[in-house]
Each structure stands twice: as structure tokens, then as C-alpha cells.
A = this chain, B = another copy of it.
Amino acid sequence: MKKILNHPEAFADETIEGILLAHPHHLKRAPGTPRGLVRADAPVAGQVAIATGGGSGHIPVFLGYVGPGLLHGVSIGNVFSSPSVEAMVAVTKAIHAGTGVLYLYGNYGGDIMNFDMSAELCEAEGVEVKSVRVRDDVVSAPKSAAEKRRAVAGLFFAYKIAGAKAATGADLAAVTATAQRVVENTCSMGVALSPCTIPAVGKPTFTIGEDEMELGMGIHGEAGIERGRLKTADEIAQVMTERVLADLSFRSGDQVAVLVNGLGATPPEELYLLFRKAHQVLAGHGVQIQRVFIGEYATSMEMAGASISLLKLDAELLSLLDAPAYSPFLPQWRSAR
């Protein structure tokens, strides 16, 4: 295992320590747990609070999406493991400003179980909680069973837009509905070229040949749909873009935001090669690219690979996507392409 770390078991906690030392005006711990971080100004009066959470090893997912115009708090598990119910409850209480809390997170079994239990405990104490699960990975289940799909980099769109909606002062029902609308209009597909190693495990999550890639692999190394010879950037981008387009039933004239995400070890240069072809495919279908995000928005430590996500836009989603937001873990953006 070739990693810059101290003790594998301390990886998540020491990462959190480093983050709090680096960004003391941005984040603080939720009282009562070492594994919960909230906005430094939490609770934020007049805003529905949004909590997320999940395993370590995916920065900027999950904790990188806490900040002004984004989310309010995050509970943090070990690498690729669900956070504890205790951390979720502590975060919920630390961010609740009296107007309810939305749990917005990836559609994974362990996270669902714990967030549901946390919701039950918090509701018993009078905190209204709603839940929206992001499930954008097109290959992880057919469209007819979309509620079984995994979350991948499409989390970005859900976090950015739900956070902007909450910042408008909208009520819990409206923030929840907006988040759900993003989920229903977001679709992603990925490709993996190499595995990563969970520090406490010490060996790669999977093996793959030197000339192979796997289409559709999940961000924890979940099986994809096709293991085969490494294809060209153009071939990869075409397959991924076409598959995502078909799933969202795009029509000529539809407007879209595009996210080309790097999983960790794949250089920005290669992401721009993928975008170059995706742009051509989208143009061929008459789909209008309104916004572009290219970089590392959801990682799997040192895994090599990338994904393409599309969000079908309407006027409100575009406006919320453009709204100001700040996190030191995210690339700069502004409304103009």
C-alpha cells in the first residue's frame, strides 16, 4: 500500500483534524461527536438545514459540500463506510434552526439504514426530517428500478442546487421537492482504469489488467457492465454520453449541465479529452450545453477513471446552479460558461 498516512486506523480522524486546522473559519465540529462537521455559522437562522454523510475517501464528497450556499452539516464514516447514527443525530441537532432538516445523501444500504434511524430519533425529539437519496448511476439498475441505483458524481448537482434553494429561505417541502427534482433529472456513467486501496485493508479493492478498463464501475469499485480492452477517449465518452442521454430521454433543444468528474488519479487533461467528445455527441443530438463542470467533484482516493453526468435543466434549476456558494474543496465557478 503506497499512501501518505500515519496509522491506517487513524486516517479518517486525522484527515478531519487537518481540515479543521486548515479551515477554522469555515467548519466546526458538531458538539458530541468527533465525526460530524457543520458550517462554522451553524445553525443558520431562517434556513432549512441540509445534512449529508457517508464514508471517507471521496473528497470533495461529502464534507467538501458543506458551506455557504451549500449544505449545513456532514457525518463522516471510515473509508467507504457509513457514518454512525450518533454522528448523524449530533449533526442534525447542531444544524437545525427550527425549520426542519433535509437528509440528502447517496443511495447506499448502510447509509439508508443509519439515516433512517437518525431521522426517527430526531423526529422523536421534535425535529422534522425529510430524506432524498441521490441515485444517478445509470448502469447500477434499469430505469424501471431507478430507486435501486447507486449515487456517483451526480451528488454535486443535488448538493449545489438544494443548498441554493435552502439559502433562499424556502420551506422544507420546497427544498425537498427541488432536491428530488434534481435527482430525477440527473444521470451519470463512469469508467474505471485502476483500483484504490482502503488504508485499513491495505490491498486494492479489485484487480484489473494493464490493458483493461471497466465501464460502469461504482465509486467503491462496485462491478460495472463491461470489462474490456482500454478504449480511446472518444470511444469512452461516446458510450457514456449516449447511455446517459438515452436514460434521461433528452429531446433536441433541451438544456443541460455537464459534469466530467475525475475519480482521483486521472489528470484534468484526460477529462477535457472526454468533454471534447461529449460536446460533439450532445451537439449531434441538438442538446444545448448551458454549464460545464470539469474536475474532481467526487473521488475514490487514487482510483483512475472518470464519469460523465448530465443534469437536464429548467430555468429554476439553472438559476440555483448559478447561485453563489463557497467551499475551499470545490473548483471556482461562475454563471458564464
| Chain A residues in the interface with B (C-beta under 8 A) | 2-6, 11, 14-15, 17-19, 21-26, 56-57, 59-60, 64, 191, 193-194, 210-211, 230, 232-234, 236, 264-276, 279, 292, 294-296, 299, 301-302, 304, 306, 326-334, 336-337
20 additional contacts (CB under 8 A) given A4-B236, A11-B269, A25-B337: A3-B193, A4-B233, A4-B270, A5-B273, A6-B232, A6-B234, A6-B273, A18-B271, A21-B276, A21-B279, A22-B275, A264-B265, A264-B267, A267-B299, A268-B329, A295-B328, A295-B329, A326-B332, A330-B331, A330-B332
In angstroms, Cα B299 to Cα A265, docked, is 11
Q: Which 7 A-B pairs have the closest CB atoms?
A: A18-B272, A18-B276, A265-B265, A4-B270, A59-B268, A267-B301, A25-B336
- B-chain residues with CB within 8 Å of residue A302 when the two chains form the complex: 265-267, 304
Knowing A269-B301, A337-B22, say if A274 contacts B326 (CB, 8 Å). Answer: no
Q: Return chain B residues, CB-CB under 8 Å to A276.
A: 14, 17-18, 21
In angstroms, Cα B299 to Cα A271, docked, is 14
Which of the residues B15, B23, B233 comes within 8 Å of A6, measured between beta carbons?
B233
Give the number of copies in the complex: 2
* A304 touching B2 in the complex, CB below 8 Å, given contacts A269-B15, A331-B331, A332-B327: yes
Structural contact, B273 and A18, CB atoms closer than 8 A:
yes
| Residues of chain B lying within 8 A (CB to CB) of residue A2 | 193-194, 210-211, 230, 304
Smallest CB–CB gap between A41 and chain B, Å? 12
Bound together, the chains give a CA A337 to CA B170 distance in angstroms of 29
Are B268 and A233 in contact, with the CB atoms below 8 A? no
| Docked complex Cα distance between A58 and B150 (Å) | 33
- CB neighbours (8 Å) of A230 from chain B are 2
- Bound complex: CA of A279 vs CA of B20, how far in Å? 11
Contact B275 A18 (CB under 8 A): yes
Q: Output the least CB separation between A203 and chain B (Å).
A: 12
For A276, the closest partner residue in chain B by CB is: B18
Question: Which residues of B lie under 8 Å from residue A232 when comparing CB positions?
Answer: 5-6
